[in-house]
Amino acid sequence: MIILGVDPGLTRCGIGVVEAGAARRLSFIHVDVVRSDPHLSQDLRILRIFQGISAKLDEFSPDAVSIERVFAQENRATVLGTAQVAGLAMLAAAQRSIPVALHTPTEAKLAITGNGQAQKIQVERMVTRILGLNTLPTPADAADALALAMCHALRPSGALQGGEREQHLTAAQRQWAQAQAQAQRGRGTRRGM
């Protein structure tokens, strides 16, 4: 299974491609950053990023696209641009009938390092180690895109139900599945209020 990860950003949009083989063995395929010139008008910047994402989807024909889930940040301009680019990635994937998954930075950190609060450098080092790279992927957007693709590949299939399924999960995957289940229970509780 080939997975293309997208770390959305209007100036730099990270793209990482990995292959998940048997026993969830991960292989590096590609990493890059699609850029737009901050001096261009917003519409032209969005067009440039969309064209770049579309070109990567056409080049690698992934089986799935894993995109960072946009969350509220203090800087509205940053979150708006990030949300726009996440939408572009979803649109480009949908046009090609490629399934899309959204993962939070915490989910990606947990899947890669076993710690949802890991620092960026820890994630970069684990991405490098797991994929057998000689150097850290740069810039950080590139490493984040690879982490998102890897996160999707390593995600537990379904909720934890004990028994055989649990035995096939790594400690980080078990912890991640438990955190997901807890978050879903929390969302259900808030909806009921």
From 32, 107, 124, 141, the catalytic residue: 141
* 50 CB-contact burial (10 Å; exposed 0-12 / middle 13-18 / buried 19+): buried
From 7, 32, 107, 124, the catalytic residue: 7
From 68, 107, 124, 144, the catalytic residue: 68
CA dihedral 76, 9, 106, 164 (to 10 degrees): 140
Beta-sheet strand order (sheet of 100-103): 26-35, 12-20, 2-7, 64-68, 100-103
Is 43 known to sit in a ligand binding site?
no
Is 58 known to sit in a ligand binding site?
no
Spatial distance between the Cα atoms of 179 and 172, rounded to a whole number of angstroms: 10
Known catalytic membership, residue 141:
yes
Known catalytic membership, residue 68:
yes
Known catalytic membership, residue 63:
no
Catalytic residue positions, numbered:
7, 68, 141
Binding residues: 7, 68, 141
Binding residues for Mg(2+): 7, 68, 141
